[in-house]
Structure formats: structure tokens, C-alpha cells
Amino acid sequence: MWYHVDPHSGIPIYIQLKEQIKKAVASNLLKEGEQLPSVRELAIKLTINPNTVARVYQELEREGIIETARGLGTFVARRREEYGAAQEDILERALESLMVEAYQLGVDQERLRIKFEKKLDVWRDRLKKEGDV
Amino acid sequence: MSWVIELDGVHKTFAEKTAVNQLSLKVSQGSIFGFIGPNGAGKTTLIKMMLGLLTPDQGRGSIFGMDIVKDSVKIRQRIGYVAETQSMYGYMSVAEIMGFCRSFYPQWNKDTVEKYLDIFQLPQKQKIKNLSKGMKTQLALIISLAHNPDLLILDEPTSGLDAVSRQEFLRIIIEELSVQGKTVFFSSHQLHDVEKIADMIGIINNGKLIETRKMDELKSTVKKIRVVFQREPDGSLFLQPGIVKAEKQGSAYLIDVEDNLTEVINQIKQYPHFTLDIIDQSLEKIFIEKVRGEGK
């Protein structure tokens, strides 16, 4: 997988890297059980601070997206069948902020529902396509 | 947290001019501390005091728990230092200066030296006075790493380097120091280089430290908010902690936030508005605003 960060953006490097890995896992670009580079390797490769990479891995591990096996390395975690309280919480917050934004923009509930379903369809198609490869 | 550098109220005046003004800072082990400030802000003076090349008029400091004035010689055995301008013996060749420096350090690492002479393709027989500025910097970096220092102090190291050499320079800092838990004090006005690798930022202006924060925190909390309200909000909205400036531009308000971001946004959202944008700030923008704000 090809990682990329823009250190000069106003978005902290750790957020850029974290979002990128999350997206890669969600879209199956990084597959279950696939090994991630070590903190050391990634820091050298991207020429960024190893503390930044370590923070990304810690947060992703806490969110259950990756797992670290001591002595073996870091791997993409098995996709969860059941979501734990932490996952529920993250999802809950994301939905909440979506609804607040929609309300502020004056989007009514019906339009929001249609938009949401359209997005789900696109997502489903994409996953299906990548599954075929 | 173990501190590698601890400075407490360090002060230095030359004739009438205060170069470093009651400056205190701490750098933790394994950190890359980006020390930024305009030209003449006092960066080099502070570094010279840390190295024992200048004595502070007031205040005290320690590196690895040793006093920067009394234990300077012992401290320097564990520090690597790359200065802005390289004053090396011009008549020596690259190989000769290596042999010369080697005699000062019992823990001289020949393998590291050879590896990097090779990577930078520095000609061993060339006289130093005939090297380009960039090559001199590379040579100074190699010498500074040769005794496996626990702390590397860099004073504007990348100013004479081209883009490729700069990238290589930064990569070596990550590979030879950072991933091994060693500490780097990186003074520069090349914000782009600092922004890439530093995890802590200190901003110095007119001899005073005007900001020290984690880089992530700085970028996560220092934002501009542009909001167009549906009707004029209560002026007290802009008095909340965290807001440093609010000004009206046409129909929009531009609000500078330095802290307390989530709370500030929630408060603003209480007022009916047409649009609300949160604008990210690069280190350069943050730096310019801070230094300008101080000047007022």
C-alpha cells in the first residue's frame, strides 16, 4: 500500500495518516490479516516523526481496526461481526454530527434519508466490485 | 517524562540588546523539538548557551541533568552539533578532518562515517575549502553523528541544501536518531523542514519564547472560523476563552481560535447561520500570525 502525507497542510499528520489507513481498510485496499509496516519503517519511509506513527497505530488499535501481535508486528484486525461499545460510540457521534450539519444547512429529513440511501448503494457496489478482483 | 533539556529563566544581554529574555523550556527524550523564530530572534544565542560556548547572565539550565555551565565538557561528549555556517579547517581534506575529529571521541563509529560518506558521495581526498556549502553541511552532519550522540542540536542546518539533499538530511535524522529514541533540537526558519519531522514546536521572537506546544495540538486547535450569521450575534459570543480575534469582513465574521476549539464551535453553532467553515492553518500561517501579534 502506498502511504502519503502532506506535512504542510493544516491538518495534523497523525490525522491524515489515520484517516488514510481507516479508508484503506474500509474499502478493502488493506485486507484482513494484512501486515502493516512497523512504526520504524513507516517513519523512515515517510520522513515523519516516529512518535506520530506510534500515535496513529495506538489509536487505530484502540478503535479495533488493527491489532499488534507482540514480536510479530501490526496487522489489519478481523472485521467485526458485532460492534463493541467503542465502535457504537464512534458511529453514534458521526451520525450526530451529520444530522447537525444537515439541520444547519436546512436539509429536511426526507432529503437526508434519500441522500443516505444513495450513498449506501454506491458503497455497496464498490465493495462488491473490489470483492470480485 | 524524562527531560533531556531543561532551561529555567535563561537570560543573555549583549551591550544594550537583550538576545535571550528569561527563557524557560523543556525537551523530552525522543522528541524532535522544532525551534523556530525570525532572523535575530535569539535562536543561535540560546544554542550557544546550551553548548557552553556562551554563559547566561541569569537563569540556569541542564542537559541530561548536568549543568550547562559547569558540566559543559561532559555534556558535549553526548551531543552532536551542526552549526549554520561551517567553520572547519579548510586546508584539511575530508579524510583528514575525520581522522582529526576522531581523536576527540573514544566512541567514534567508523561504520556510520563510511556509510554516510558513501551515501552523500563526499570525495575523501577533496580539501574542505573546495567543497560546496551543501557538502560542508553534509560533512558536518556526518561528524556530528560519528560518536553516537544522544542529543543532536541543529542550528539552521538545511539552509544551504538543495531539495534532494534536504530530504536526505531529514531522513537521516529520523533513521539515526528518532527511531532510536534519541532527541533532536532543530532550530530553523525553514518551516517546511521543521513541519515535517518535529513533534514539538517552540516559537521564539525577540528573545522570548511565545509558544510551546505539540505540533499536532497546535494544528488541531489553532483554526480560523468563517461564519455568516443570519442575524447579528450578541457581542459576548466573541469573548469566550480560546478566541483571540474576531473581525467582520463583508457579511462574514473571521474568528481566530487558539484554544478550546470544540466548545467555541458549539457556541457559535447556537446562533442561526448560513454558513460555517473551519479553516485549517499551516505552521507557516500560525507562525506569521503569532510573530505579528507579538509585534503589536
- Option in B174, B280, B281 nearest A43 (CB): B174
Highest mean pLDDT among B56-65, B80-89, B215-224, B271-280 belongs to B56-65
Give residue A133's pLDDT: 46
Same domain, B227 and B213: no
CA distance B137 to B142: 9
What is the fold, at CATH topology level, of the domain defined by A13-76?
Arc Repressor Mutant, subunit A (1.10.10)
In a domain, B97, yes or no: yes
Quote the number of domains for chain B: 2
Give residue B130's pLDDT: 86
Same domain, B140 and B258: no
In a domain, B291, yes or no: no
CB atoms within 10 A of CB A129: 10
Nearest CA in chain B to A40: B179
Domain boundary among B174, B195, B217: B217
Is the Cβ pair A49, B192 closer than 8 Å?
no
Instruction: Establish, for the pair of chains A and B, how many residue pairs have beta carbons separated by less than 8 Å.
Output: 66
Domain boundary among B182, B217, B252: B217
Query: B205: exposed, middle or buried (C-beta count within 10 Å: 0-12, 13-18, 19+)?
Result: buried
- Option in A10, A49, A104 nearest B219 (CB): A10
Domain hosting residue B260, numbered range? 223-280
Give residue A83's pLDDT: 56
Same domain, B123 and B73: yes
B183 in reach of chain A (CB within 8 A): no
In a domain, B47, yes or no: yes
Same domain, B274 and B143: no
Same domain, B48 and B20: yes
The answer to whether residue A7 scores a pLDDT higher than 80 is: yes
Give residue B30's pLDDT: 95
Same domain, B63 and B194: yes
Same domain, B229 and B275: yes
End-to-end CA distance of chain A: 16
Give residue B94's pLDDT: 87
Give residue A82's pLDDT: 55
Same domain, B267 and B203: no
The answer to whether residue B47 scores a pLDDT higher than 90 is: yes
Mean pLDDT of B149-176: 90
Q: Which stretch of A81-95, B207-221, B235-249, B253-267 has the lowest confidence by average pLDDT?
A: A81-95
B60 in reach of chain A (CB within 8 A): no
The answer to whether residue B20 scores a pLDDT higher than 90 is: yes
Is the Cβ pair A50, B178 closer than 8 Å?
yes
In a domain, B290, yes or no: no
CATH number reported for the structural domain that contains residue B231 in this entry: 3.30.70
Q: How is residue A69 annotated by DSSP?
A: E
As a three-state string, the secondary structure of B112-168 is HHHHHHHHCCCCCCCEHHHCCHHHHHHHHHHHHHCCCCCEEEEECCCCCCCHHHHHH
Mean pLDDT of B169-186: 94
In a domain, B294, yes or no: no
Mean confidence (pLDDT) of chain A: 86
Optimal mutation site among A39, A42, A51, interface B, most CBs of chain B within 10 A: A51
Mean pLDDT of A64-78: 90
Is the model more confident about A133 or about B207? B207
Q: Find where cell 525553514 sits.
A: B190
Same domain, B58 and B114: yes
**Three cell numbers, residue B123:** 570525495
Same domain, B10 and B149: yes
Predicted-complex ipTM score: 0.84
In a domain, B135, yes or no: yes
In a domain, B285, yes or no: no
Same domain, B142 and B264: no
Q: Which stretch of A70-84, B38-52, B202-216, B245-259 has the lowest confidence by average pLDDT?
A: A70-84
Tell me the helices (H) and strands (E) count for chain A, helix number first: 5, 3
Domain residue ranges in chain A:
13-76, 85-132
In a domain, B163, yes or no: yes
Per-residue pLDDT reduced to its tens digit, B59-106 = 999 999 999 999 999 999 999 999 877 677 888 888 888 888 888 888
Same domain, B19 and B87: yes
